[in-house]
């Protein structure tokens, strides 16, 4: 199958043009031919009817056999022969005696076609109308301009039958007293004219078809020109050039939507590449700090002999750096699995309130250290999820609420169930999130307070991991924040049946 859209369109257009032009030309030719032949047929039928009417004036014996004798006349009986009598059509059933018979020569002389059927006097003999009349015994009563090959017709009634015999067209019928009448004419000239007219139609149709196909090709080229421009623009986009866009100024309305979709896709690709570059830079920066700590402390420890206390302090510093780097690597691994669509979770019905309670138990010492009051209002709720992931979600949200809070502040957790949904709410009384930072809060390595987050061990992946976990559970996460009043994170899950 042809895989070119332009050629498929051209083939369909060619087929349609062939049907239209061929159909119109065929109908025009057939209608013209039918009208011309019908005109000839009417002429032949009228001529046959005239001859049939004139045969009605002939006596029976003339029509029955060429050797038949006229009836004997008795003195004082029968009609007298009158040479001036008018022609009549004999009716064997009439009760009154027929008019006198005219002489045979006069009847035969009058058995001709009217002048309007004979044509102009200078008409060649082959182009003239010819006729032949046979008696019942198949003897010829009269024939004029008769060509070769005319045979006794098999007409069974007085209906006129039209037949084409080579270059001749003939009308035949049954006349009075079982006579047969054939009237015909040569139609070679008319057929030649029709053939020439057919070739004229073919020539004009071919010209129209060629012009139409050429116009269709030009039109198809104009249609696909914007698509070629789109392809060129898309081909120009690579990892080093992501800013090229399709110009929609001169694009047709039908293709403008496609161009807008492609431009939107290019915008998303550019944003994704930018996020990837930023992610790589941030990850490198986050890993560089603990690696620098490890190298510095190792170099100091090896530069000269140290006391056991100094070695212990160096090892503890290195261990903290390793833990920080391990947490960062674990977070990156979680996000990479989420991006790949295979977070490695085992879904089963779980009590979300039990998981949150365990999380509060783990993080309460951290809250006490920062003098944060933890409170909870947890309704019994069952969700379909992965236990480790939900624990990480709850701990990340609570840890974030504790670390971004004032001394003596509060963190309140609430679980509610309504209309088949389970809602987990984490509210803090911290400084809130500045309005300019809110669109980026779930971005990787983003920190509202960069200096304090790094000093507290944060790596800017907590909320990004939370969003990935929630989306893997087919849930939704959002937040409300008021500067200097606090922030509330809201997570919604489907309740397990």
Q: Which range, of 79-88, 147-156, 406-415, averages the lowest pLDDT?
A: 79-88
Residue predicted with more confidence, 125 or 54? 54
Residue predicted with more confidence, 26 or 319? 26
* Encoded tokens for 161: 């039958």
Q: Are 446 and 460 in contact (CB under 8 A)?
A: yes
Q: Calculate the alpha carbon distances from 187 to 30, 32, 145, 168, 343 in Å.
A: 16, 15, 15, 6, 90
Q: Which range, of 45-49, 308-312, 342-346, averages the lowest pLDDT?
A: 342-346
The pLDDT value given to residue 122: 62
Task: Place 76 in a pLDDT band, splitting at 50, 70 and 90.
Answer: very low
Q: Which range, of 88-97, 215-224, 368-377, 454-463, averages the lowest pLDDT?
A: 88-97
Q: What is the pLDDT of residues 321-370, one digit of tens each?
A: 787 777 767 767 776 666 666 556 788 999 999 999 999 999 999 899 88
Q: What is the dihedral of CA 360, 366, 372, 374, to 10 degrees?
A: 10
Give the residue from 487, 350, 362, 365 showing the smallest Cα distance to 429.
487
Q: What is the pLDDT of residues 114-129, one digit of tens each?
A: 777 766 666 666 678 8
What share of the chain in percent tops pLDDT 70? 82
**Cα atoms found within 13 Å of the Cα of residue 194, Cβ hemisphere only:** 16
Residue predicted with more confidence, 23 or 285? 23
State if pTM tops 0.85.
Answer: no
The pLDDT value given to residue 416: 93
The pLDDT value given to residue 360: 92
Q: Report d(CA 163, CA 153) in Å as an integer.
A: 11
Task: Place 252 in a pLDDT band, splitting at 50, 70 and 90.
Answer: confident
Q: Read off the pLDDT of each residue in 299-306 and give the average, rounded to a whole number.
A: 79
The pLDDT value given to residue 34: 93
Q: Which range, of 23-27, 60-64, 207-211, averages the lowest pLDDT?
A: 60-64
Give the residue from 465, 476, 389 showing the smallest Cα distance to 425.
476
The pLDDT value given to residue 2: 65
The alpha carbon of residue 490 and the mean position of all alpha carbons in its chain are separated, in whole angstroms, by 45
Residue predicted with more confidence, 328 or 216? 216
Residue predicted with more confidence, 304 or 25? 25
The two beta strands, 180-186 and 161-165, are: unpaired
* pLDDT averaged over every residue in the chain: 81
Task: Place 428 in a pLDDT band, splitting at 50, 70 and 90.
Answer: very high
Q: Which residue carries 């989306």 as its tokens?
A: 471
CATH architecture of 253-336: Orthogonal Bundle (1.10)
Nearest 5°: the CA angle 53, 56, 59 is 155
Residue predicted with more confidence, 342 or 397? 397
* Encoded tokens for 301: 């420890």
* Encoded tokens for 342: 């295979």
CATH topology of domain 345-494: Heat Shock Protein 90 (3.30.565)
In the chain, domain spans: 5-192, 253-336, 345-494
Residue predicted with more confidence, 112 or 29? 29
Q: Calculate the alpha carbon distances from 25 to 125, 203, 210, 388 in Å.
A: 35, 10, 15, 80
Q: Which range, of 53-57, 191-195, 240-244, averages the lowest pLDDT?
A: 240-244
Task: Place 78 in a pLDDT band, splitting at 50, 70 and 90.
Answer: very low
Give the residue from 277, 239, 264 showing the smallest Cα distance to 444.
277
Q: Report d(CA 190, CA 194) in Å as an integer.
A: 6
The pLDDT value given to residue 285: 63
pLDDT at residue 90 greater than cutoff 50: no
Q: Read off the pLDDT of each residue in 61-70 and give the average, rounded to a whole number.
A: 69
The pLDDT value given to residue 298: 81
The pLDDT value given to residue 75: 47
The alpha carbon of residue 247 and the mean position of all alpha carbons in its chain are separated, in whole angstroms, by 26
pLDDT at residue 454 greater than cutoff 70: no
Residue predicted with more confidence, 11 or 426? 426
């Amino acid at each position: 199958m042809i895989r070119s859209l332009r050629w498929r369109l051209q083939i369909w257009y060619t087929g349609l043009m062939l049907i239209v032009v061929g159909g119109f030309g065929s109908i025009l030719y057939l209608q013209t031919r039918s009208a011309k032949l019908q005109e000839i047929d009417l002429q032949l039928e009228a001529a046959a009817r005239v001859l049939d009417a004139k045969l009605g004036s002939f006596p029976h014996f003339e029509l029955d056999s060429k050797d038949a004798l006229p009836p004997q006349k008795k003195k004082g009986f029968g009609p007298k022969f009158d040479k001036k009598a008018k022609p009549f059509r004999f009716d064997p059933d009439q009760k009154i005696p027929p008019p006198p018979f005219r002489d045979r020569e006069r009847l035969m002389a009058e058995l001709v076609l009217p002048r309007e059927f004979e044509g102009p006097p200078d008409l060649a003999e082959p182009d003239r109308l010819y006729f032949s009349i046979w008696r019942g015994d198949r003897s010829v009563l009269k024939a004029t301009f008769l060509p070769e090959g005319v045979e006794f017709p098999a007409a069974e009634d007085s209906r006129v039958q039209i037949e084409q015999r080579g270059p001749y067209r003939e009308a035949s019928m049954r006349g009075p007293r079982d006579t047969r009448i054939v009237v015909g004419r040569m139609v070679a000239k008319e057929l030649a004219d029709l053939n020439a007219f057919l070739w004229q139609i073919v020539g004009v149709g071919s010209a129209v078809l060629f012009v139409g196909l050429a116009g269709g090709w030009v039109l198809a080229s104009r249609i696909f020109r914007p698509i070629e421009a789109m392809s060129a623009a898309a081909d120009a986009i690579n990892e080093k050039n992501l800013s090229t866009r399709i110009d929609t100024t001169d694009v047709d309305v039908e293709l403008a939507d496609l161009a807008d979709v492609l431009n939107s896709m290019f915008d998303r690709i550019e944003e994704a590449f930018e996020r990837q570059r930023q992610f790589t830079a941030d990850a490198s920066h986050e890993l560089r700090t603990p690696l620098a700590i490890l190298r510095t402390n190792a170099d100091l420890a090896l530069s000269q002999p140290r006391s056991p206390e100094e070695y212990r302090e160096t090892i503890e510093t290195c261990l903290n750096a390793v833990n920080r780097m391990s947490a960062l690597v674990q977070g990156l691994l979680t996000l990479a699995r989420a991006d790949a669509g295979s977070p490695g979770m085992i879904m089963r019905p779980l009590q979300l309130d039990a998981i949150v309670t365990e999380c509060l138990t783990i993080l309460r010492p951290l809250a006490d250290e920062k003098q944060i009051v933890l409170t909870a209002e947890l309704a019994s709720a069952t969700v379909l999820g992965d236990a480790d992931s939900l624990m990480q979600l709850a701990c990340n949200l609570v840890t974030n609420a504790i670390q971004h809070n004032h001394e003596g502040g509060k963190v309140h957790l609430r679980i509610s169930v309504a209309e088949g949904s389970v809602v987990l709410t984490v509210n803090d009384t911290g400084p809130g999130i500045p309005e300019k930072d809110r669109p980026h809060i779930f971005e990787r390595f983003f920190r509202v307070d960069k200096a304090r987050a790094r000093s507290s061990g944060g790596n800017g992946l907590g909320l990004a991991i939370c969003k990935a976990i929630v989306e893997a559970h087919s849930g939704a996460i959002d937040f409300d924040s008021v500067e200097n009043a606090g922030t509330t994170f809201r997570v919604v899950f489907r309740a397990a049946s």
